[in-house]
Amino acid sequence: MKRGTPVKIDKRDKLILEMKTITKEYSLTLDKDLCCGCEICTIICPKEALSLIDAQIENGSLIEKPKIDADPDKCIYCGECVILCPYNAFKLKVNGKETIPSVDLEAFPTLIREIEVDVKKCIPDCKLACQEGCPFEAIEVIYEKEIEVSKKEKKAEGSEKERKLAKSQEKKKKIEKIKKIIDVKIDKEKCTYCSKCVYDCPYNAIKVTKPIEGKISINYELMPKRFKAAADVCPTKAITYDEKKDKLKLEDKWCLFCGACRLVSPENAIILERTRILHEYIESGAWNKALEKLISPEELAKELRIKAENKIRYWILESRVP
């Protein structure tokens, strides 16, 4: 094994690809807990270094989610998977620092993903719906507490043990009450911009820009009975399973169009189509290719046309002839 030969380290919770030379070190880490086994990285990988291991499904429920495997000899640490992973499962480090060279050198765009919380609109009686509802535990609401202590107090009697027990019960009777919401903190490392919080919030205080837009529907005729794997695999809980009615329920408002559910379901049972990806303006062949593979050649053509129009407009405005 010559120096610089890339290696794969497969740990229980992490898959690491490493390329170490004396002056430079690259490492790509896949967090297996965050990864739901959607197909996006395997689709866009320009060197086909990432591949998918099928999920295990037994009696309609998910035993093991689909997994991503990586080929260390093919990976070139371009970081496209890091940018496009909807669940932030990939991390690329160069010499120990988290960067993506292809973004720094403008060879690949970053996605436009925004989340904004208007704290002024927050009203304390929401019961912290956004924090409670977030599937990724990315929201932390900071608030002022008001503690109400219920006044019924039993007098401690009997032995010391009993008295202690009574005291601990006393504590439970204290009820926290939210007096004022100071701030809503969002952990951008964890947030996937699925916009579930937008719909959870009763006061329209949150605005989210989803990076990937699309359409999704379930063909119930093709879905087998008591099939809940699609719901099990969905990290945003856009698909849920109703035990009583034996039916999958789809809520496309907070679907990220990753396609994990389509992978575990029977063919054509889930119809998914990605229509748009919001990204920074960039001119890059690598991006064009990724776009073509991820959405469609038509969408790529559309984007190229817009870019060309923009260019012409720019030339006219600047009265420059190429």
Partner 1 sequence: MVDAGHHPKINVLTYSELEEVRGFVGNFKVKVKKKPRFVIPEKCNGCGLCVDVCPIEVPNEFDEGTTTRKAIYVPFAQAVPLVYTIDMDACIECFKCIEACGKLEAIDFSQKEEIIELDIGTIIVATGYDIYDPTPIKQYGYGRYPNVLTALELERLLDESGPTMGKLYRPSDMKAPGKVAFIQCVGSRDDIHEYCSGFCCMYTIKNSLILREKYPDLDISIYYMDIRTPSKGYEEFYRRAREEGIKFIQGKPSEIAQDPNNHNLFIYSEDLAKGKAIRDEVDIVILSTAAEPRPDSRTLGSKLGVTSGPSGFYMESHPKLKPIDTPTEGVFIAGSSQGPKDIPYSVAQGSAASSRASRILSSPEWEIEPLIAFVDADKCRNVRKKCGICETRCPYGAIIAPEGKPAYVIGAKCHGCGTCVADCPEGAITQLHYTDVQIVAQIHAILREKPEEKILVFTCHWCSFGAADTAGNSHLKYPPDNRIIKVMCSGRLDRKFIYEAFRIGAGMVLASGCHPQDCHYITGQHHAERRLKAVPKILERAGISPERFSVKWMSASEGQTFSKVMKESSETLKSIGIERIKEENEKAKPELEKRIKTFREDPDVAKILLADEKVDIEA
Point out which span in 72-80, 200-208, 230-238, 245-253 binds partner 1 (CB under 8 A). 72-80
Query: The tokens of 36 are what?
Result: 């739901």
Q: Residue 272 has which token pair?
A: 């998914």
CA atoms within 13 A on the CB side of 103: 15
Contact between 106 and partner 1 (CB under 8 A)?
Answer: yes
State the nearest-atom distance from the C-beta of 233 to partner 1, in Å: 29
Among 47, 215, 305, 311, binds partner 1 (CB under 8 A): 47
C-beta of residue 276 within 8 angstroms of C-beta of residue 218: no
Residue with tokens 């912290």: 128
The reply on whether position 2 binds partner 1 by CB under 8 A is yes
Among 170, 286, 296, 302, binds partner 1 (CB under 8 A): 286
| Nearest in space to 164 (alpha carbons), one of 149, 179, 154 | 154
Binding segment for partner 1 (CB under 8 A), chosen from 1-9, 175-183, 271-279, 299-307, is 1-9
Give the residue among 215, 217, 213 at the shortest CA–CA distance from 269.
217
Question: CB–CB of 128/182 below 8 Å?
Answer: no
Residue among 1, 70, 66 nearest 35 (CA): 66
Residue 24 binding partner 1, by CB under 8 A: yes
Judge residue 226's burial from the number of C-beta atoms within 10 Å of its C-beta, 0-12 exposed, 13-18 middle, 19 or more buried. exposed
Contacts of 99 (CB under 8 A, 6+ apart): 92, 93
Binding to partner 1 by residue 200, rule CB under 8 A? no
Pick from 52, 76, 222, 278 the residue near partner 1 by CB under 8 A: 76
14, 283, 311, 316: which one binds partner 1 (CB under 8 A):
283
Question: Which listed residue (67, 247, 289, 293) binds partner 1 by CB under 8 A?
Answer: 289
Question: Does 108 engage in binding with partner 1 (CB under 8 A)?
Answer: yes
User: Closest CB to partner 1 among 240 and 284?
Assistant: 284
How far apart CA 117 and CA 130 sit, in angstroms, is: 11
- Tell me which residue has tokens 């669940």: 87
Rounded Cα gap, residues 266 and 268, in angstroms? 6
Nearer to partner 1, 158 or 285 (CB): 285
Total number of residues that touch partner 1 (CB under 8 A)? 31
Considering beta carbons, is residue 98 or 283 the nearer one to partner 1? 283
Q: Is 217 exposed, middle or buried (0-12, 13-18, 19+ CB in 10 A)?
A: exposed
Binding segment (CB under 8 A) for partner 1, from list 74-82, 85-93, 157-165, 295-303: 74-82
Identity of the residue, 284 or 296, whose beta carbon is nearer to partner 1 in the bound complex: 284
Q: Which two tokens stand for residue 188?
A: 């951008």
Does residue 107 bind partner 1 (CB under 8 A)? Answer: yes
Q: CB nearer to partner 1: give 79 or 259.
A: 79
3 state DSSP class of 24? coil
Binder of partner 1 out of 33, 54, 104, 246 (CB under 8 A): 104
Using CB under 8 A, list all residues that contact partner 1.
1-5, 19-24, 26, 46-47, 76-78, 80, 101-102, 104-108, 283-287, 289
